[in-house]
Amino acid sequence: MMAQGETIGLLHLSCPEGSKLILPETPLEACCSRAEQIREGVKHLNIQHRGQSLGVVSFSIGVAAFPEHGLTREAIVEAADVALYRAKHEGRDRVICASERAIADTS
C-alpha cells in the first residue's frame, strides 16, 4: 500500500509494449496536461520505417493517479488501463483521465 501523503501520476501509453510513465509527486491535473503535451508532440515526429515515412502517428493515453483512482499500485495501473481502452474506444488519439475510484481497491 502507498503512503497517503504521496502524489503519483501514471500515464499508460498506447504502444505495442503498453508502456507506463510514472510521474512521482505530480498532481492529476499536471499529469493530464503532460499527457496531452506528449500526445501532441508525437504527431510532429517524422517516424520512418525502411526509408518510408509512416505519416502522422496517433497516440492514446490513459491517466490515473494516487490516491484519486486507487490506493494500491495494481488499482492505479488498472484504472489507467481502463482509461486507455476508453480512449481507444472513443476514437483514439486522445488523453482520457480515469474516473474517480473507477476500480475497486484491494489491500
Reported as a single tens digit per residue, the pLDDT across 11-55 is 555 555 567 888 888 888 899 999 999 999 988 888 888 999 988
Query: pLDDT, tens digit, for every residue of 49-105?
Result: 899 998 888 888 889 988 888 888 889 888 988 998 898 899 889 999 998 544 333
**Buried b / exposed e along 2-20 (16+ C-beta atoms within 10 A):** eeeeebbbbbbbbeeeeeb
Banded model confidence at residue 9, pLDDT cuts 50, 70, 90: low
Q: What are phi and psi of 88, to 5 degrees?
A: -65, -45
Determine the Cα–Cα distance for residues 94 and 84; give it in Å rounded to an integer: 9
| pLDDT confidence of residue 95 | 92
CB 63, CB 86: distance < 8 Å: no
Backbone angles phi, psi at 76, to 5 degrees: -70, -45
- Spatial contact of 28 and 35, defined as CB atoms under 8 Å apart: no
Q: Is the pLDDT of residue 7 over 80?
A: no
Supply the pLDDT for residue 33. 92
Return the percent helix, strand and coil in the chain, to nearest 5: 30, 20, 45
- State the Cα angle at 15 between 11 and 17, rounded to 5°: 95
